[in-house]
Amino acid sequence: MPTSYLDFEQPLADVDKRLDELRRLSARSDDEQEELTRLAGQSQQLEQEIYGSLLPWQRVQLSRHIDRPYTLDYIERLCSEFVELHGDRNFSDDAAIVGGLARFRGQPVVVVGHQRGKTTAEKVKRNFGMPRPEGYRKALRLFQLAERFHRPIFAFIDTQGAYPGVDAEERGQAEAIARNIREMAGLRTPIVVTVIGEGGSGGALALGVGDRVLMQENACYSVITPEGCAAILYNERTPERIAWAAESLKITAADLLELEVIDAVIPEPPGGAHRHPEAAVAAVGDALEQQLKELLALSVEQLMEQRYVKFRRMGSVAIADGGNGQG
């Protein structure tokens, strides 16, 4: 069962609590078994009602949910023989980004991703998933290792953004992000990027250049948080302004698919990844397998050409000629 509930999830809290109590019983009476069946059906119905018509701000809240699977959860469940590699060979190791060598359904790969942390101690250790420059330089080292040994790359995005502290700026935060974007664009190996939670600003883009960019259904991907947008435009963070910003920014998976910023949406089970993590992980694994199969069928030259075209066409707009015959 989830460990916490958002405001709009509260109708599920009491049902989940009673379901958990009944499932823990080593032996159940006929009445208890009947109640279990009834409550399970009620839970499914509530999930359909609550998660079937989510607003953009609600999806943003779900993308940050503490119970969503994180990068290491996906690696643990989808990969075998994972060997984590540490350090940027320049300054230190950054626990906000994890990565290493692994085997995915028989295919050797390199996996890299943001890691937020679940407990308070782990969140502090991993800086709440906000990397410093050494984290991005560690990621780049792993990307280059993948290219050298012809291993596909899986990148998992889940961060509010890069760490904005003075120490990070002193060590070249902007340069580290910019260099990752440039170098990823030229890596001669397949890259599949998956936004599994919150994709925020340059902190996400530094791992976001891929031949295929996927998003889970309740993930978000944006240049700024809705709270930050509301504060800048209106100098206030009221719930109404934040909800408006979330809708206006077009940061949901469906919005970004329509805008061709991403290539595919990975459906989440009814109730979301935080309520049914195993099903969510399996769906991500199947999507990765399909995309990787398609990419491995391409030559390196085809891969590079398609990647170039993919990112060059982003941001193109059609301008009305205003009646003067010019576009």
What average pLDDT does the chain have?
93
Going by C-beta distance under 8 Å and a sequence separation of 6 or more, which residues neighbour residue 43? Answer: 12, 15, 16, 19
Strands 107-114 and 220-222: unpaired
Confidence (pLDDT) at 311: 93
Distance between alpha carbon 125 and the CA centroid of its chain, in Å? 20
- Segment 98-104 mean pLDDT: 98
Confidence of residue 32 (pLDDT cuts 50, 70, 90): confident
- Domain spans of the chain, in order of start: 7-53, 60-312
Going by C-beta distance under 8 Å and a sequence separation of 6 or more, which residues neighbour residue 84? Answer: 98, 99, 100
Q: Give CA–CA dist 147/186, Å, rounded.
A: 10
Give the model confidence (pLDDT) of 183-211 as tens digits: 999 999 999 999 999 999 999 999 999 99
Tell which wins on pLDDT, 18 or 96.
96
Torsional sign, CA 139, 141, 144, 146:
negative
Give the model confidence (pLDDT) of 220-249 as tens digits: 999 999 999 999 998 888 999 999 999 999
Confidence (pLDDT) at 207: 98
CA proximity to 197, closest of 152, 158, 250, 241? 158
Going by C-beta distance under 8 Å and a sequence separation of 6 or more, which residues neighbour residue 323? Answer: none
- Segment 323-327 mean pLDDT: 50
CA proximity to 103, closest of 304, 292, 265, 279? 292
Q: Give CA–CA dist 209/143, Å, rounded.
A: 11
140-149, 161-170, 265-274, 317-326, range with the lowest pLDDT: 317-326
- Segment 53-67 mean pLDDT: 95
User: Within a 13 Å sphere around the CA of 151, how many CA atoms are in the beta-carbon half?
Assistant: 22
| Gyration radius of the chain's alpha carbons | 21
**Element containing residue 189 per DSSP (H, E):** none
CA distances from 6 to 50, 59, 280 (A): 11, 11, 19
Bridge partners (DSSP) listed for residue 104 = 79, 107
60-312 domain in CATH 3.40.50.970? no
User: Model's pTM, two decimal places?
Assistant: 0.92
Contact 22, 1 (CB under 8 A): no
Q: Give CA–CA dist 98/27, Å, rounded.
A: 43
Question: CB 259: neighbour CB atoms within 10 A?
Answer: 11
Confidence (pLDDT) at 181: 97
**Element containing residue 28 per DSSP (H, E):** none
Does 320 have pLDDT greater than 90? Answer: no
Confidence (pLDDT) at 325: 47
- Segment 74-91 mean pLDDT: 96
Confidence of residue 172 (pLDDT cuts 50, 70, 90): very high
Q: Give CA–CA dist 74/57, Å, rounded.
A: 25
Give the model confidence (pLDDT) of 243-255 as tens digits: 999 999 999 999 9
